Structure 1
C-alpha cells in the first residue's frame, strides 16, 4: 500500500499510511515530530505502533471486536489527493461500513478523516456520519504519539482538577498537579479536560501546543520500562523518547442519530524556543 504524502514543501510534510489511515510522520523544518517504534509492524493487519492511529468505534477492550475498534486496522480510501489551499496542504480519507465491519458492529456509517499540514502546524479532523436508519453510540480517539528528547524532562498541562481513571493502579482520582510528568508506567484517562494542552520539553527544547475541538477527554500513556520490554512491536528503550497525549471522546459514549454527523479534531502547533 502506497503511503500518501501531505506536504507544504520538502522540509514540512506528513505521511499517512492507508492501513488505518495512520499518520506515520510529521516533519517540521526537516525534523521528525511523531514517534513510530523501530519495531512497528507494517503487515496490513496489525495496528501500526506510533504516529496517530485512529480509534473508532470503541476505545479500549471491546466485547464485540478488537481492542480500540477496527478503524486503525482497516484500509481507508483516499478521496482527496493532497492539494494546496489557504497555505496548507490537505488530504482526505474515508472509511465506510462493509460486510466485514457489519459482521462485528451492525451499523452503517462513514468516517471522513482530514489531514492538513501548515507552517509548524498539523491539523487532524474526524467526521462520523450515521448513514443508516438506526442510532448508534461510539467512542473515538486520536491516539497521538509525540517524539521526545527525554520523557523525564517533559511536562503536560491542562489536566489539573480533572477526574481521571488510572488504569495502571485501577483507581479514580482527581488530578492535583499543574504540570504532570511521567516517571513510571502511565495510563490515565482524564475527563472534561482543557481544550488546550502544552507538552513542554526542558530548557532549550520545544513545545507542542495541542488544541482540541469537540474532543472533551485526554488520555496520557507511556508503557515505561517493564511493559516496553513485553511489547514485541516496541523497542525496549524507546519509552524514554515518547509520550502519548490523546484527544478523544472516551469517558462517555457519543450517541449519533440517523443522518447526523459528529465532528471533532485537533490542531498541533510546534513552538520552538
Structure 2
C-alpha cells in the first residue's frame, strides 16, 4: 500500500441518478454514502470484504428508503402519529455540510447535513439541523457521528428519538449470536412492545426478532461463527440497541426484500428510544456509533483469546 493516499470522491450513479460519495482509506477499507437518506450502503474492510447487507431488491427511487446499509432514523424509530415509518431523515436528500464537525480521528470522512423542508413542517413543525459525519479509521473502523440542533425561532423545545438502523452481512443467521445484552430488559415489538428480560447469555436466532434492548453497555459484540468474523459496536449517548431479523414470513411480504435474504443479514444498531431527547432552542445533542470488524472464532460460548486481545486494544 506504499504511496497510496486516502480519498473522497463524489459519483453520480447512472442506474439511479443519485449522487454518492466513495471514501477510500489508504490501508484498503472503503465506504459508500448516498446523499439520499445520508445513507451508508457499503463498508468494506482492509481486505475488501463487504460488511453490510443491502437487499438485491432494494429500491433506489425516492421516496422509498434504501433497504439495507445504515439508515438514519430521525425523529423517530417505528411508526407513530403522522410521521412516516422510522421518520423522514432516511428518505430525504441531504447536502454536503459546509460547517463540519471537527475531526481528529481520521483524514478520510464526509460531512453531510439535513434541514427541515416545507413538507416536513406539515407533520413535524420544528426547525432543526441534523449533521452527520461518516469516517473511516486507518484500521478500517466505520465511525458515524450525528449532531442534532434545535433551530426553532419561537422558543419551543422539541423531542425526538434516534437510531442507526445497521444491517450487517452475515453468513447464516442460525450461526450468529449477539453478546453483551444478557439480563437486559427489552421491548418486544412482536408482542405489543411488552417489557421482557433477556434470559440467555447471548441472543441467538431461530425465528423473527424485533426488539429494543434498554440501557445496554457501550460495547456490543455480534459473532458470525461460520465466517469467523465479529462486529464490535461501540456507542456514545445512544443507550439502547435495536436487534431485528424479519425471518421467512415477513421477508416474503416485503417487496424490497428477497424471500431468502433474512438468512444473510442481521440488524444490530445503536439507538435512543426509551428516553427521548428534548432540546430547547439553541441546544444540540451528539451521538456516535463506531463499528470494528475483527477475525474471530466461537467455541462453547467463549470468544477466542486473540479476538479478546484485539477488542481490548480498541
**Which TM-score tier does this pair reach, normalised by the shorter chain?**
over 0.9
Map 1:94-109 → 2, pairs under 5 A:
94-109=113-128
Unaligned runs of 5+ in 1: none
* 1:227 matched residue in structure 2: 250
Change (3 A) 1:76 1:221: same
d(CA) in 2 for partners of 1:40, 1:31: 20
Matched residue, 2:190: 168
- The aligned counterpart of 2:6 is none
Computing the radius of gyration over CA atoms, which structure comes out larger, 1 or 2? Answer: 2
Encode CA deviations 1:77-125: one digit per residue, 9 max, x unaligned: 02269xx975541100000112121111111100000000122200001
**What is the Cα deviation at residue 203 of structure 1?**
5.7
Kept in 1, the 8 Å contact 2:171–2:226? The answer is: no
Residue number among 128, 131, 143 corresponding to 2:148 in the alignment: 128
Is 164-173 or 145-154 further displaced after alignment?
A: 164-173
Give the whole-Å Cα distance in 1 for the aligned partners of 2:181 and 2:290. Answer: 18
Report the counterpart of residue 108 of structure 2 in structure 1.
89
Partner of 2:4: none
Determine whether 1:157 maps to 2:175: no
| TM-score (normalised: structure 2) | 0.83
Q: Which shifted more, 13-22 or 84-93?
A: 84-93
Aligned residues: 271
Match among 160, 164, 171 for residue 142 of structure 1:
164
- Contact 2:183–2:197 under 8 Å retained in 1: yes
Answer whether contact 1:222 1:239 (CA < 8 A) is retained: yes
The structural deviation recorded for 1:10 is: 8.3
Residues 1:204 and 1:2: Cα distance change in structure 2 (over 3 Å): closer
Aligned 1:179-194 pairs, distance under 5 A: 179-194=202-217
Structure with bigger strand share is 1
Name the SS of the counterpart of 1:137 in structure 2: strand
Which structure would you say has the larger RCO, counting Cα contacts within 8 Å and 6 or more residues apart? 1
Whether the aligned pair in 2 keeps the contact of 1:120 and 1:271 (CA below 8 Å) is: no
Tell me the alpha carbon deviations over residues 201-249 of structure 1, each in whole angstroms, 9 at most, x when there is no partner.
1166110000011100011000000100010000011001010002110
- Deviations for 1:5-52, whole angstroms, at most 9, x for unmatched residues? 122148411001111011000011211100000000000210000000
Question: RMSD over aligned Cα, in angstroms?
Answer: 1.6
Residue in structure 2 matched with residue 24 of structure 1 by the alignment:
41
